[in-house]
Amino acid sequence: MKFSLSWLKQYLETDAGIEDVAATLNRIGIEVEGIEDPAEKLAGFRVAKVLTAVRHPDADKLQVLSVDTGEGDPLQVVCGAPNARAGMLGVLGLPGASVPANGMVLKKSAIRGVESNGMMCSVRELELGDAHEGIIELPEDAPVGMAFAEYHGADPVIDVSITPNRPDCMGVYGIARDLAAAGLGTLKPIEAADVAGSFPCPVEIRIEDAEGCPAFHGRVIKGVTNGPSPQWLQDCLKAAGQRPISALVDATNFVMLAYGRPAHAYDLAKLSGAVTARRAAEGEKVTALNEKEYTLDPSMTVIADEAGVHDIAGIMGGQHSGCEEATTDVLLEIAYFDPQRIALTGRALNLTSDARARFERGIDPAFLDTGLNLLTALIQSLCGGEASEVVRVGAAPATPRIVHFDPALTGDLGGVVIAPEQQQAILESLGFSVVAAETGHDKAWAVTVPGWRPDVDGAPDILEEVVRIYGLDNIASVALPRADGVALPTATPAQKLERRVRRAAAARGLNEAVTWSFLPEAEAEAFAGEEKLWVLANPISEDLKAMRPSLLPGLISAAKRNLDRGSSSLRLFELGRRYLRGKGGASDERLTLGVILAGDKTPRGWATGKAVAFDAYDAKAEAMALLAEAGAPVEKLQVMGEAGPQFHPGQSATLRLGPKNVLARFGMLHPAIAKQFDIAGSVALVEIFLDAIPGKKGAASFTRTSYTPPALQSVTRDFAFLVPAELPAADLVRVVQGADKVNIVAARLFDDFRGQGVPEGQKSLALEVTLQPLEKSYKEADLKVISEKVTQAAAKLGATLRG
């Protein structure tokens, strides 16, 4: 929300400058997001007088001006404005000044061979309006040489962030109230004299949806003259980021921005019959002021006449009945709408507005008459006209909320001791009323909450108001007590696993990435498999609609962004959770580690030749290393296919413990998926399902045992087998290693040969088997028995010992 300093001072009697106001707002919990000082944008521009104006010698549409800047000799300026003439006063941008409209820095230059020392400026160039037909013409009494920012009266603009629980600060007056309570000045009372009507209201007002619209006040003003609003009003709206439209429309916007009270003005000539607050009919349509058509349903409250809908209640008016320049009679509407109904309607229509932002947070139900009087008086002062009597239909919620509060709570819960009389003064300055409560506790208060504070409903809320105005910085920082002795470890096994795997990945040269937990639905579908997605009904944006079923889409997008920006080699990992639909629609979160290798594994060089890209074996190496660090029994893993449609079918696999328990999948990205993500080059992926790794038996035990190396030296034996060409080498290694679990401690593949001497359809795999004697050295007979076990185990896979 934006407002100017001068606008704030219409309601706050203070001499404070912009810096003091901003500091106080931050101190009391109203965050200042920025300060715009127009004087900074207008630096280098000054009031100047054109002394002479002659035609440019080489351009018919240009003039050469002699301009008096109030300092020294006149400057020569080339100007193309049709209204430039001798004797006029305007605004000169000196060399070095930056034009607000386009950021161009002015400098001394030659235009068609004639030197020009700056530029005479138009309204649009200084961002003071839309006029650009000629340069600015100032009154004859404008002081030549004065900085234009000083002459124009540049007014700083404050941009604050209002939290959803503070609807009272959605108006400048509410912010002034908080600043006054914080001691920055005195709050001026609202001057809203009752505007008496001179004739009965000619429009019948009805309520048929009392739940959505409990109260509807209205009156007619006849004989208004619509047109541009005065400069002071336009300046206020521009400071707030609003575009001035006309006096009637600007008046309603001013009351909304100043007091947080939305209102609406209808062109009376465009209404037909009674005006009714009712439910919309199924399929009923309305074209709103944003020129978009909306289809309504019976859950929505509308304002309509006998011809149809004219207003999506509390959100946006209809285009048909809006006020125009020719409007002479208006119907003013000030109503109270149910906040929840407004929020649901706005969400269903995907329609936001300043009015919705205030109604759905909750406005003061007691401000109906005051708001209508303020709006009536403002319109009459701007446009004239004669007001009718007020029609009041229904009644807004009027029961005051009373909260019992013990002032001692500020010390017990707030951590700061504040005198009761000071607490009472703070609350009363914020609009609360405080009286002694008849509760059995002598020190308890009955605090009546004002209607503009729907967020206050308990004693902690009252405490928060007292403490934030007193000053959060006055609360001492106190460390929490800690028991004597050594603190017990607090990390869970899952947290320890995450730390261990994260450090291992970083040690292997992988860079950690943190991506969104939400994805575009198409990208999420590509990695969902048979699982159903979690899709948000009200996402932040369409690109963040589906909860990620895998970490890989986010990593692919991150890799693409880096490759597009010139990175030649990427090694990224992410540790996080993927989200699936469990049985019965329950959420199923699973801890996962994702890795992506993209670009060049090694760059081109004189020794290596051309660059080498990552391949599936690199992905497998990362998967095996990280699984080992996570505590998985890598020596027992089986390499099997079916990595999923996201992977290249001939260059991917899974790592499993048994046929069903998949611990990881790895391989190259499928070309179709790469095309969908628009990523080029070789992309290798790894996805490790950390929650599928079985826990170690006795993991909770902290008993330490010493390691004693074997007394006898190990023995190695080599075996070469002929196996079917399609048999994975890892299967043979696993079977051989398990042939004799007492004596065989390791098995390693060291040769894979296919060629002369090997039958077609087969390959030769050579393994080095390590044997470890325990109590005595092996004899030849012992080695023969072990060898027979190895060959028999290999034979189960169709392997024969090569001669």
What pLDDT shows up at residue 703?
43
- Residues 727/730/731/734 CA torsion (nearest 10 deg): 160
Q: Tell me the residue range of the domain where 430 lies.
A: 402-474
Kindly tell me the burial class for residue 657, based on how many C-beta atoms sit within 10 Å of its own C-beta (0-12, 13-18, 19 or more): middle
In a domain, 704, yes or no: no
> Could you tell me the pLDDT band of residue 707, with boundaries at 50, 70 and 90?
low
In a domain, 742, yes or no: yes
Task: Choose the final residue of a domain: 332, 363, 394.
Answer: 394
pLDDT per residue as tens digits for the range 397-447: 888 899 999 999 998 888 899 999 999 999 999 999 999 765 444 568 999
| Single-letter code of the amino acid located at 305 | D
Same domain, 503 and 518: yes
- Are 680 and 674 in contact, with CB atoms under 8 Å apart? yes
What pLDDT shows up at residue 483?
75
Known binder of ligand: residue 338? Answer: no
Same domain, 237 and 384: yes
Across residues 8-21, what is the average pLDDT?
Answer: 94
Q: Report d(CA 650, CA 761) in Å as an integer.
A: 18
Same domain, 84 and 233: no
pLDDT per residue as tens digits for the range 258-298: 999 999 999 999 999 999 999 999 999 999 999 999 999 99
What pLDDT shows up at residue 51?
94
> Could you tell me the pLDDT band of residue 247, with boundaries at 50, 70 and 90?
very high
Same domain, 663 and 787: no
Q: Report d(CA 310, CA 265) in Å as an integer.
A: 11
Alpha helices in 520-658 (DSSP H): 521-526, 552-564, 616-629
Q: What CATH number does residue 82 fall under?
A: 2.40.50.140
Select from 666, 501, 489 the least CA-distant residue to 576. 501
Known binder of ligand: residue 600? Answer: no
Same domain, 519 and 652: yes
Q: What CATH number does residue 433 fall under?
A: 3.30.56.10
- Are 86 and 51 in contact, with CB atoms under 8 Å apart? yes
Q: Which residues pair with 206 in a beta bridge?
A: 276
What pLDDT shows up at residue 765?
94
Known binder of ligand: residue 464? Answer: yes
Same domain, 139 and 32: no
Number of structural domains the chain divides into? 6
pLDDT per residue as tens digits for the range 40-86: 888 899 999 999 999 999 888 899 999 999 888 899 999 999 999 99
Across residues 497-520, what is the average pLDDT?
Answer: 94
In a domain, 697, yes or no: no
Same domain, 657 and 765: no
What pLDDT shows up at residue 718?
94
pTM for the model: 0.63
Q: E strand or H helix at 434, and its extent?
A: strand 433-436
Q: Within a 10 A sphere around the Cβ of 609, how many other Cβ atoms? A: 9
Same domain, 292 and 346: yes
Same domain, 633 and 724: no
Residue identified by tokens 């002795």 is 485
What pLDDT shows up at residue 437?
65
Residue identified by tokens 């048909």 is 320
What pLDDT shows up at residue 697?
59
Task: Choose the final residue of a domain: 394, 429, 457.
Answer: 394
What pLDDT shows up at residue 50?
94
How would you classify residue 636: left for phi > 0, otherwise alpha for psi between -120 and 50, otherwise beta? alpha
Q: What CATH number does residue 676 fall under?
A: 3.30.930.10
Q: Report d(CA 323, CA 304) in Å as an integer.
A: 16
Encoded tokens for 801? 């010992």
In a domain, 195, yes or no: no
Is pLDDT above 50 for 700? Answer: no
What mean pLDDT, rounded, does the chain reach?
Answer: 90
What pLDDT shows up at residue 166?
93
In a domain, 734, yes or no: yes
Instruction: Provide, rounded to the nearest whole percent, the portion of the chain with pLDDT above 90.
Output: 71
pLDDT per residue as tens digits for the range 118-145: 999 999 898 887 777 899 999 988 999 9
Encoded tokens for 703? 């008993």
Select from 431, 469, 429 the least CA-distant residue to 450. 431
Is pLDDT above 80 for 529? Answer: no
Q: What CATH number does residue 225 fall under?
A: 3.50.40.10
Same domain, 221 and 341: yes
Q: Report the first-to-last Cα separation within the chain, whole angstroms.
A: 86
Same domain, 385 and 463: no
Three-class SS of 643-712 = CCCCEEEEEEEEEEECCCEEEEEEEEECHHHHHHHCCCCCEEEEEEEHHHCCCCCCCCCCCCCCCCCCCC
Is pLDDT above 90 for 449? Answer: yes
pLDDT per residue as tens digits for the range 191-212: 888 999 999 999 999 999 999 9
Phi and psi torsions of 588, nearest 5°: -125, 105
What pLDDT shows up at residue 494?
86
Select from 287, 373, 273, 269 the least CA-distant residue to 325. 269
What pLDDT shows up at residue 701?
40
Phi and psi torsions of 371, nearest 5°: -60, -40
In a domain, 198, yes or no: no
What pLDDT shows up at residue 696?
67
- Are 160 and 32 in contact, with CB atoms under 8 Å apart? yes
Known binder of ligand: residue 461? Answer: yes
Same domain, 747 and 624: no
Q: Report d(CA 346, CA 348) in Å as an integer.
A: 6
CA distances from 397 to 301, 335, 365, 374, 451 (A): 18, 12, 6, 21, 9
| Single-letter code of the amino acid located at 50 | V
What pLDDT shows up at residue 702?
41
Minimum mean pLDDT range among 39-53, 172-186, 381-395, 519-533 = 519-533
Phi and psi torsions of 461, nearest 5°: -70, -40
What pLDDT shows up at residue 486?
73
What pLDDT shows up at residue 635?
82
Q: What CATH number does residue 721 fall under?
A: 3.30.70.380
Cα dihedral sign, 492-494-497-502: negative
Q: Report d(CA 337, CA 343) in Å as an integer.
A: 10
Encoded tokens for 753? 């040969």
